Structure 1
Amino acid sequence: MPWYEGFGGERLWYREQGEGPALVLVHGWCMSSAVWRFQFDQLSAGGFRVIAPDLRGHGDSPQGSAGCRREVFVADVAALFRHIDLRGALLAGWSLGTQVAIGAVPLLRERLAGVALICGTPCFTSRVDFPHGLAPVEAEGMALKVRRNLKRALEGFCARMFAPGELDASGRADEIRALVAGVSAPETEVALQSLAALAAADVRPELAAIDRPTLVISGELDPICPSAASAYMAQRLSACRPVVYAGCGHAPFMTRCDEFNAQLADFSREVHGRV
């Protein structure tokens, strides 16, 4: 297994497969690198070097002593780039991983060819001047469910990721259910810390620092990070290509994986100046 030293020198795990231009994929809340299975399978076979860390406390990465805060996740991802000496990479984040990727851009600017923000939001909870997030009471309710029974809370969260009929329409329903069910749950404290970090973050001021070509992907029917939040980000990025997956919820990279992978591959080739 490949390990690297993250923030504070603590050991973290990542997965790597394939050769070619690097695609670094950062997972979301209470998930792990395992969610990117379809990307590892297809993109590594298509001439790309696919790399995905397990954020601390998730998957095979221990929690460590630094806590599961966004700034620590950001520092960990930057440390991974330095450890592998990645240059000219495409950094992609999903959901919570979107906020991590946004924070990492200033630290990695010279190492990045582009950025992909997948079903993310600059503010998970709504504000007076940002109506595109979830109501604060919803985040509080999620935390309460996690405290009561983490397993049931995650089952409910994962079921909510998909729009009605989306799994059946994908033609991969059983495969996707097995993939999601196979993701190891973090400890309850990790789930609560990372949820608190997600709910408190407001990364809108950081969008102006993204000066690399950016692909912003959203699901039309995403109930977790509404597509309006992705549209908000796209409007404020200087070199942005927005893509909305009709009929999709929070994880089009699973239910529309063939189309998603082709989109990501084409964008990577474009930002690398390849035909």
Structure 2
Amino acid sequence: MKIIETLGCAQSPVLYMLHGWGVHSALLKPLAEQLSADYQVHLLDLPGHGFNQNQQLSADLTACAQLADDFEPGIWLGWSLGGMLAMNLALNKPHLVQKLVLLCATPCFTQKEHWPHGVESSVLDQFGERIQEDIKQTIRRFLQLEVLGSGDEKDQLKKITQQVFQAPLPDIVSLQAGLQLLRHADLSLSLKNLQMPSLWLTGRRDRMVRPAAVQMASEYSQGKYQMIRGAGHAPFIHHSDELTEIIREFLCH
């Protein structure tokens, strides 16, 4: 992981923000700007994503947790795949994570017998095959799924697509590693060991990470759960004020 931009005062509590698969930190910048009044916000790019092309993302969770070894302790906010990686960091290196905010994130992305609220693994297999043919079109298709159900899909897709393609396209090896993490990682049974306070946020219309999965994860971890009505998988686009208010309230207590 690489800090791409820092907002806010150096004397404020530290807050790290971690984006999802196939995109980069700029998508979370509007949310970071709102929270920077109270926090020193570090926007991170995953290896092989955005402006962090010198690294490659690993499909090994232990290696992913080691990416934060040089960071000072702070609050971690992760969206989608970034949320899964933030969870993994909190479980493996709890001294680095003071509080945890999970935005439309799940400990287990695919369906399993004990985790019925995931997606079918064949969905990820299809993306893996398409990446070999056309990375840009594959990411565009993934973005379509992210805004699905939001109620204003066309406007959201236009906005999120413009932001995503302002940075270099992700590295294909890192994209495949991200899909492997989404396909195979299962942190659900470890959530009972989560030591720090956690906030689990979901959009009622999210078709990628179902609200039922986020609610179940909050129960496993004894964290706080909250649903944002009218939001899809990217609530920071049109529900940023409500999202900021919920996060601030959680972090202040």
What's the TM-score once normalised by structure 2's chain length? 0.89
- Asked if structure 2 preserves the Cα contact closer than 8 Å seen for 1:158 and 1:180, the reply is no
Deviation at 1:154, TM superposition (A): 0.5
Cα distance in structure 2, aligned partners of 1:150 and 1:111: 34
Q: What is the aligned length?
A: 251
Shift of 1:94: 1.0
Task: Give, in whole Å, the separation in 2 of the partners of 1:197 and 1:131.
Answer: 18
Does residue 148 of the first structure (1) align with residue 128 of the second (2)?
no
Indicate if the aligned counterparts of 1:208 and 1:236 stay in contact, CA closer than 8 A.
Answer: yes
Specify the SS of the correspondent of 1:113: strand
Specify the SS of the correspondent of 1:236.
Answer: helix
Secondary structure of the equivalent of 2:250? helix
Q: 1:75 aligns with which of 60, 66, 70?
A: 66
Structure 2 equivalent of residue 9 of structure 1: none
Q: Distance in 1 between matches of 2:174 and 2:153?
A: 32
Aligned to 2:48: 57
- Are residue 123 (structure 1) and residue 108 (structure 2) matched? yes
Structure 1 spans left out of the alignment, 5+ residues = 1-5, 7-11, 271-275
Counterpart in 1 of 2:182? 198
Q: Amino acid of the residue matched to residue 29 of structure 1? A: W
- Counterpart of 1:36 in structure 2 is 28
Q: Is the 8 A contact 1:103 1:206 kept in 2?
A: no
Judged with a 3 Å threshold, the aligned counterparts in structure 2 of structure 1 residues 134 and 150 are, in CA distance, closer, same or farther, namely: same
One-letter identity of the residue aligned with 1:268: L
> 1:1-275 to 2 correspondence within 5 Å?
12-19=2-9, 20-44=12-36, 46-64=37-55, 67-77=58-68, 79-81=69-71, 85-86=72-73, 89-164=74-149, 166-167=151-152, 175-238=159-222, 240-270=223-253
Query: Structure 2: how far apart are the matches of 1:152 and 1:188?
Result: 13
Tell me, in whole angstroms, the C-alpha distance in 1 between the residues paired with 2:186 and 2:153. 35
Contact 1:91 1:115 in 2 (8 A): yes
Give runs of ≥4 in structure 1 deviating > 4 Å. 172-177
Tell me: CA distance 1:243–1:66, structure 2 relative to 1, closer, same or farther (3 Å).
closer
SS in 2 for 1:179: helix
Deviation at 1:236, TM superposition (A): 0.8
Aligned equivalents of 1:55, 1:247: Cα separation in 2: 28
* RMSD value, Cα: 2.3
Verify the 8 A CA contact 1:90 1:114 in the aligned structure 2.
Answer: yes
Aligned residue for 1:255, secondary structure, equals: coil
